[in-house]
Structure 1
Amino acid sequence: MYENLPGSATKKSMAIVHGLAIAHYNAKKLSTTPAMPIEAYAITIRLIGYGFLLYTVVDFGAALIPPQFTNPAWEFQFAGRLVELVWFPILGFGLVFAPVVSNQRGAKILAALSWCALALAILYFALLPLLVINTIRLERTALAAFNITSERRTAAYNELTQQLEALSPSNLENLLRNPPAALRPPAEATTPNTVRAWLLQRAQSEQAEARQRAETQRNAQRTNILRSSVKWCCGALLSSLMMFYIWQFSGWARLAARREFA
């Protein structure tokens, strides 16, 4: 066959034939390798989805225990926790209802899960007023605690001022001679009256600093509550819409279940 061809051409032709033979062998080998059936793939996908849904039930139960339904802080955090966990049921429902096969095995279970999606849609929508109400309750509670603390601080400052004004000159002179490390008067305070004025000024300055710190902490607390409330309210609304869409999308499962009962 290769008698009339030059030596180089003969080698090239033989290499081409050899390559085609190897390619044919590999293609034949791949064609005989068993592939994963679509039915097994669908079952695997749904099992993963069931795992996500089971984890959702466990995590929801862990967030609920121990229940404190009369505590606005617990209710607020519980609602936020449910919103943060919404991705697990979304992934679970998405994998369970994935249209990877045409058959509808386990239609009764799928129909029940479809109604569970609607129940979750209603639950997440109900979290909206719960979050708003508890935001208001937490704000009122924090404001009342701030006012009580401010009143106590003001009363303590007034009492301290009265005690400083009632100090006798001999007590102030003793303070000048033997000052404690925390109340060492400045160098210009050399008389009892200047020491008294310095003490009153220091008490007033500490009172103003304490009030400023309390107001800063109060504003930071209010900002955190409002930020979390807005975030979780938006999340609850989106979660409700997504769960409602899943319920609508899974209508084929409810229809298949009705056909089984018919």
Structure 2
Amino acid sequence: MSQLRPLLKSHRILMTVPGMKDFENTGSTYNPEAWISYEDDLALDPYTTFWGTSGTALPRMGAFSYTHSKLSKAISVGRFTSIAKGMTVMGAKHPLEWASTSPVFYNQRLLMRTYSADHGVELDAAQFSYKPGRIAIGNDVWIGEKVTLGHGVTIGDGAVIASNSVVTSDVEPFTVVGGLPAKKIRDRFDAPTIQALQESQWWQYAPENLTHLDVANPAVFAQQVLQQAAAGNLRTFETRPLTARRIAEHVEAPGTGTN
């Protein structure tokens, strides 16, 4: 962390806790020796926020999004998305269709190697391969506390996931879902408003073009964005994400992680 702090500040990436008032203090609450992990495909936009210690893993995340949860390498996040505490990803899949789901039959790591050595026996291993799918979280998504996501799910733009939900399938844009497993509760808005919001793609524009619009009235807001865009009055917000290559150029020991 001590090496990364200047780079995070220059890229306008905020690592904060409640009560922090000065951007210059970003990352100051972390142990200077804290290990920060990231993947080779890292693309972290400026104006993103990590609460608590969630910034020990840097993800693919769009501008103006924040997270209270440490995000796994399987997750990518769009812009203007809000992620509460305790979001996790399901564990590894087991072969439910087999006679036994135990890894003793297919994933014989140290435990079973020890058993083999202790008893002087050889074990056969069945072939079971499973590659977890990537998880895509769209723009302007709100994920409540203690949500669990299944591998490979896509959460559409504008969706809301209720606290304590388990998401096992894709979530359509602008729907509210909840439960175990999560099911649709309702649409956020009526169909014409949802269509207009999707067409507007408002999250691609700079905040100064958006905050003076009538956000409290979704239908009006969407039409205002569409009209302003058609008139050429909106500026697309372009970013230069923080990448693994940029980190490798900055820190003393390039790799897939740094302190």
Tell me if both proteins adopt one fold, taking TM over 0.5 as the criterion: no
If the length of structure 2 is used for normalisation, what is the TM-score?
0.19
Structure with more contact order per residue of length (Cα contacts < 8 Å, sep ≥ 6): 1
Structure with higher helix content? 1
Question: Which structure would you say has the larger Rg?
Answer: 1
Structure with higher strand content? 2
